[in-house]
């Protein structure tokens, strides 16, 4: 029988995880159904333009998951499982600073990085690591208890890790081992039935509900699984019409007449799920925890560093104007600000270097005897080249923090009089023993290689 290639393992893993999560959280299935309806409608209404940022088959299968782990060693093991699926750590997100509530984690996202791999299946997992060494959240006594608890648990069975290493090294697995790997991998992210130590869970919850979800139990679990939708405003309305309580807002850029950029996300509120609880006298009682939710997202064009700086400035501007006019909906203010400060067309975004594209020579170049200009804006305007947008494959820290926060039942505590512990991308690379990749470098690489091909074909020296 044929060996199973890495991308097929990734696609199968995403599909099985989706089946498992649908059983655990039935509202997720509704979300997926409504996403499919919306995508079909958008395709019908907009035709092939609907597929400008990914084919319908890619978008329909597309998911991101989120998991949370407690120690660098656990993170390293998660990285091995994802490496088996052709997914590498990309980007560093510090959520400790991004939220008003206490979210003591730093994060990265595991995802495929090559264009062909993304087109085959773009499955990604937003992965957060608890920060017990940050004294703003944990005092030395609690930190020590937490670290001892975490050191005593096993999230990933050794057999899974051995199979994962083999899949990563050989970039495929024989069919029986592929089956075993998938079964163990999905199992590692199921919600455990093991009773939760109630007193310990509550102790951590006083610091942060996220800390309790990570360090209060002896396993990890998929926290949400997010389908991609082509019109998130339509999806939001339809979910609400079905009686599912959504969070108040869509995070990220506003709805506006220009091109979709970066990432817009929204979610339904975390649901109470029955969980067995061990009480201090050793009894097991029925309890409930509210940690898992359903999220949905719409993806737009990746911005360049410059474009992102502009985006961040606009977010700041929207914040200030909203503070001055609290009676006006934030969305409305945001749309106004965007219309004033961002170009309305893909071509202008490209010409001003604000967003990433791949370029190719036009099938119908000018035939008036002129030489192609050297400048990308002029090449586009005069019809020498065409631009294909690069879809944003990553996350936004403020939206991530917003999603975390809107699903927390308590604020938790953060003692800002203490100095933050230093966790950064370099520290995370060290913990993972592999480089956390810079998303901008990945987009730039794709864009630049297409530009070199164009320059060569048109006989231009690139400067």
Rounded CA gap, 205 and 139, in Å?
Answer: 14
- 399 near ligand OOG (CB under 6 A): yes
Give the closest residue to 189 by CA, choosing from 285, 101, 332, 85. 85
Closest by alpha carbon to 17, among 264, 168, 227?
A: 227
Stretch that binds ligand OOG, among 71-79, 201-209, 396-404, 423-431 (CB under 6 A): 396-404
Question: Strand, coil or helix: what is 354?
Answer: coil
Contacts with ligand OOG, 38-67, as mask; x by CB under 6 A = ----------------------------x-
Tokens of 402: 């917003």
Which residues lie across from 224 on neighbouring strands?
66
Burial 268-306 (b: 16+ CB within 10 A, else e): bbbbeeebebbeeeeeeeebebbbbbbbbbbbbbbbbee
Which of Ni ion, ligand OOG, none sits in contact with 68, Cβ below 5 to 8 A by type? ligand OOG
Least Cβ distance, residue 335 to ligand OOG (angstroms): 22
User: Which residues, numbered 212-251, are part of the site for Ni ion (CB under 5 A)?
Assistant: 226
Query: Contacting ligand OOG (CB under 6 A), which of 81, 85, 217, 403?
Result: 403
Helix count and strand count (H, E) for the chain = 19, 12
181/268 with CB nearer ligand OOG: 268
Contact track, Ni ion, 44-83, x by CB under 5 A: ----------------------x-----------------
Residue 458: φ, ψ to 5°: -95, 0
Q: Minimum CB separation from ligand OOG for residue 408, in Å?
A: 10
Indicate whether 295 belongs to the interface with Ni ion (CB under 5 A). Answer: yes
Looking at residue 327, what DSSP letter applies? Answer: T
Of positions 200, 201, 384, 395, contacts ligand OOG by CB under 6 A: 395
Name the minimum Å distance from CB 391 to Ni ion.
16
Q: Are 30 and 191 in contact (CB under 8 A)?
A: no
Identify which of residues 82 and 395 has a Cβ nearer to ligand OOG in the complex: 395
Cβ-count burial of 367 within 10 angstroms (0-12 exposed, 13-18 middle, 19+ buried)? exposed
Options 184-192, 199-207, 355-363, 395-403: segment touching ligand OOG (CB under 6 A) = 395-403
| Least Å from the CB of residue 180 to ligand OOG | 28
Which of ligand OOG, Ni ion, none is residue 399 near (CB under 5 to 8 Å by kind)?
ligand OOG
Phi, psi (rounded to 5 degrees) for 49 = -60, -25
Residue ranges in contact with ligand OOG by CB under 6 A: 66, 68, 126, 128, 223, 265, 295, 395, 399-400, 403-404
């Amino acid at each position: 029988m044929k060996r199973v290639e890495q991308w097929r393992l990734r696609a199968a893993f995403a599909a099985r995880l989706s089946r498992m999560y649908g059983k655990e959280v039935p509202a997720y299935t509704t979300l997926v159904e409504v996403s499919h309806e919306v995508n079909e409608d958008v395709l019908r209404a907009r035709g092939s333009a609907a597929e400008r940022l990914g084919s319908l088959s890619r978008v329909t299968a597309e998911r991101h998951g989120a998991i949370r782990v407690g120690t660098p060693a656990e993170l390293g093991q998660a990285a091995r499982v994802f490496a088996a699926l052709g997914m590498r750590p990309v980007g560093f997100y510090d959520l400790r600073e991004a939220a008003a509530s206490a979210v003591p984690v730093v994060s990265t996202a595991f995802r495929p990085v090559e264009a062909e791999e993304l087109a085959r299946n773009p499955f990604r997992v937003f992965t957060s690591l608890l920060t017990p060494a940050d004294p703003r959240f944990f005092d030395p006594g609690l930190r020590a208890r937490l670290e001892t608890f975490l050191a005593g648990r096993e999230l990933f069975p050794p057999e899974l890790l051995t199979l994962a290493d083999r899949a990563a090294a050989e970039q495929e697995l024989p069919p029986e081992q592929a089956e075993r790997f998938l079964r163990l991998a999905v199992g590692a992210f199921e919600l455990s039935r093991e009773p939760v130590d109630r007193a310990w869970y509550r102790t951590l919850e006083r610091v942060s509900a996220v800390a309790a979800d990570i360090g209060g139990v002896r396993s990890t679990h998929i926290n949400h699984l997010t389908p991609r939708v082509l019109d998130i405003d339509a999806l939001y309305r339809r979910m609400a019409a079905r009686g599912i309580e959504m969070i108040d807002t869509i995070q990220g850029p506003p709805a506006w007449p220009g091109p979709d950029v970066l990432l817009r996300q929204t979610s339904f509120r975390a649901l109470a799920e029955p969980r067995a609880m061990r009480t201090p006298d050793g009894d097991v009682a029925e309890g409930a925890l509210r940690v898992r939710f359903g999220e949905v997202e719409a993806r737009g064009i990746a911005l360049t560093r410059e474009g992102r700086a502009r985006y961040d400035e606009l977010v700041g501007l929207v914040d200030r104007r909203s503070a001055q006019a609290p009676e006006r909906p934030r969305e409305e203010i945001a749309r106004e600000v965007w219309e004033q400060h961002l170009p309305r067309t893909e071509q202008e975004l490209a010409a001003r270097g604000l967003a990433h594209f791949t370029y190719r020579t036009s099938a119908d170049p000018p035939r008036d005897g002129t030489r192609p200009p050297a400048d990308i804006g002029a090449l586009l305007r005069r019809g020498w080249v065409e631009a294909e947008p690069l879809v944003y494959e990553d996350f936004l820290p403020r939206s991530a923090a917003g999603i975390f926060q809107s699903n927390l039942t308590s604020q938790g505590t953060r003692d800002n009089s203490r100095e933050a512990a230093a966790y950064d991308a370099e520290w995370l690379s060290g913990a993972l023993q592999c480089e956390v990749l810079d998303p901008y470098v990945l987009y730039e690489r794709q864009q630049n290689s297409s530009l070199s091909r164009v320059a060569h074909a048109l006989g231009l020296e690139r400067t």
